[in-house]
């Protein structure tokens, strides 16, 4: 029967890794999970598909355009585009059974039909942690979340990084003090573009909105405050702003910066930065962005913040929270390409057993013993030349090969070869297990 061959292509914008890159990717994912769990976050695994009504309850125009919609019978379904909306749904629907503060992590793929381009993915892993309170949530959580993120990037060892911290109440308070709260959203949106379009453009945009030159100067000089955290705090206090929201934000900020150190984050890894804004409506207090010091062009490798109300679309209960997120797929793509991290492992197996005898049962028994002892191993019975089998072990980067011939079996001493150094040894199975455990 003649078959039509379909070209086996993978969609653009979807990451599909070689086995050795996948091993590396999983190692990073495992490290993120381990550190989330070390801070007591509970695992969640919500569905990838939700009803459009639930998923798009809050979404605006831009998000909605990117959402993957699904046709299935009469149902209007969508693929999740982040892990926050599913969390809101989850917490709202189980509010009576959960213990608050509810600390959860979720590491899962989400979907956005963005224009495919280098470094952009339509399917990507988000790695989220959030602590949700009922009615209230202590400010110490605002330091605990970034301290967990700190441990991850420290462990990943992909270069020096800084977690930038701000509090949106400061800027809101400043705008109140300057009497321009009616233009707050537009001003915030404009300031948020500072890094992208430059100060000159921001000034003319603010003028257009109708902010006076004097006020623009006050805003710009405020967000341009630099120095160590202590120096910045002093400069802020010196401004003598008496606005209540501003002062609340300042108190929170001081508390978070102090607690970061207590949580073990070294001073060089976090910094107050008044110019970060992080979107518009959602965040209401502390906000975070994280940058690789030598690769700022990538943008933030982990962001998040404090919000007043997680699930206002699903419940009238007040559920404040604080969270951060790592976009793992894009980050992996970047650090791999920049050489900030290297695959060191092509194989899961530590040992390949090569039978050179007709007594296959004895060879299988060896691999069974190795596995029982927890040593990942494989056995190769393929009917190819000896050289091909060694090439196979080399290609996979399997560090040890055991040759088993009749002589080895009768003397109970197997030949084990270190494939990196070339060194050979004659050892019993138990000695091999001791050596590699």
Which residues ranging from 27 to 86 are in contact with a second copy (CB under 8 A)?
37-51, 53-54, 57, 68-73, 75, 77, 79
Chain residues 223-252 in contact with a second copy, contact rule CB under 8 A: none
Find, among 253, 233, 232, 104, the residue nearest to 172 by Cα.
253
Stretch that binds a second copy, among 91-99, 167-175, 199-207, 420-428 (CB under 8 A): 91-99
Smaller CB distance to a second copy: residue 67 or 292?
Answer: 67
Cα dihedral value 240, 322, 36, 39, nearest 10: 70
209 touches a second copy (CB under 8 A): no
CB of residue 72 to a second copy, shortest distance in Å: 5
Smaller CB distance to a second copy: residue 54 or 211?
Answer: 54
Is residue 205 within a helix (H) or strand (E), and if so which, with residue range? helix 199-209
109 touches a second copy (CB under 8 A): yes
Sheet containing 414-418, strands listed edge to edge, beginning at the edge strand earlier in sequence = 377-379, 351-356, 400-405, 414-418, 424-427
126 touches a second copy (CB under 8 A): no
Chain residues 143-202 in contact with a second copy, contact rule CB under 8 A: 143-144, 147, 151
395 touches a second copy (CB under 8 A): yes
Smaller CB distance to a second copy: residue 135 or 214?
Answer: 135
Q: Among positive and negative, which fits the CA dihedral 166, 257, 243, 322?
A: positive
Stretch that binds a second copy, among 12-20, 183-191, 287-295, 400-408 (CB under 8 A): 12-20
Smaller CB distance to a second copy: residue 42 or 207?
Answer: 42
Q: Binders of a second copy: how many residues, by CB under 8 A?
A: 111
Tell me whether residue 268 is exposed, middle or buried, using C-beta atoms within 10 angstroms of its C-beta: 0 to 12, 13 to 18, 19 or more: exposed
CB contact at 8 A, 429 and 353: no
- Interface residue with a second copy, options 31, 192, 392, 415 (CB under 8 A): 392
* Number of other CB atoms surrounding residue 315 within 10 Å: 16
Smaller CB distance to a second copy: residue 131 or 236?
Answer: 131
Q: CA distances (Å), 380 to each of 353, 411, 418, in order?
A: 6, 22, 17
Stretch that binds a second copy, among 136-144, 190-198, 234-242, 331-339 (CB under 8 A): 136-144
CB of residue 412 to a second copy, shortest distance in Å: 17
Q: DSSP alpha helices (H): ranges in 18-60?
A: 19-38, 52-55
380 touches a second copy (CB under 8 A): yes
End-to-end CA distance of the chain: 52
């Amino acid at each position: 029967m003649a078959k039509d061959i379909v070209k086996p292509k993978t969609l653009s914008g979807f990451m599909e890794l070689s086995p050795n890159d996948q091993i590396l990717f999983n190692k990073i994912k495992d490290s993120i999970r381990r550190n989330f769990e070390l801070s007591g976050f509970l695992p969640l695994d919500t569905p990838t598909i939700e009803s459009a009504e639930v998923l798009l309850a809050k979404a605006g125009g831009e998000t909605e355009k990117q959402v993957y919609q699904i046709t299935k019978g009469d149902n209007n379904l969508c693929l999740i585009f982040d892990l926050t909306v599913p969390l809101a749904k989850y917490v709202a629907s189980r509010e009576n059974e959960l213990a608050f503060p509810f600390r959860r992590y979720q590491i899962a793929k989400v979907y956005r039909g963005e224009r495919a381009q280098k470094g952009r993915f339509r399917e990507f892993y988000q790695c989220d942690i959030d602590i949700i309170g009922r009615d209230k949530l202590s400010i110490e959580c605002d330091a605990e979340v970034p301290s967990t993120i700190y441990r991850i990037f420290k462990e990943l060892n992909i270069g020096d990084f800084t977690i930038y911290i701000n509090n949106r109440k400061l800027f809101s308070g400043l705008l109140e003090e300057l009497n321009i709260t009616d233009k707050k959203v537009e001003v915030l949106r404009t300031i948020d573009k500072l890094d992208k379009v430059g100060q000159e453009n921001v000034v003319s945009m603010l003028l257009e909105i109708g902010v006076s030159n004097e006020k623009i100067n006050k805003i710009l000089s405020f967000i341009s405050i630099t120095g160590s955290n202590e120096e910045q705090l002093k400069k802020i206090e010196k401004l003598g702003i008496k606005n209540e929201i501003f002062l609340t934000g300042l108190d929170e900020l001081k508390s978070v910066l102090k607690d970061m150190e207590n949580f073990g984050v070294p001073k060089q890894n976090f910094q107050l930065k008044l110019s970060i804004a992080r979107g518009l409506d959602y965040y209401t207090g502390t906000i975070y962005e994280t940058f690789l010091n030598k690769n700022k062009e990538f943008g933030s490798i982990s962001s998040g913040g404090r919000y007043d109300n997680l699930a206002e679309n699903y419940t009238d209960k007040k559920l404040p929270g604080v969270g951060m997120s790592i976009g793992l797929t894009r980050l992996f793509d970047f650090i791999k390409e920049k050489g900030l991290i290297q695959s060191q492992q092509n194989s899961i197996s530590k040992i390949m057993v090569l039978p050179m005898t007709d007594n296959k049962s004895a060879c299988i028994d060896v691999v069974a013993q190795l596995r029982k002892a927890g040593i990942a191993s494989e056995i190769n019975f393929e009917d190819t030349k000896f050289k091909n089998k060694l090439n196979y072990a080399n290609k996979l980067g399997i560090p040890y090969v055991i040759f088993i011939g009749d002589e080895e079996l009768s003397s109970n001493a197997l030949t084990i070869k270190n494939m990196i150094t070339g060194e050979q040894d004659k050892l019993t199975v138990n000695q091999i297990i001791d050596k590699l455990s």
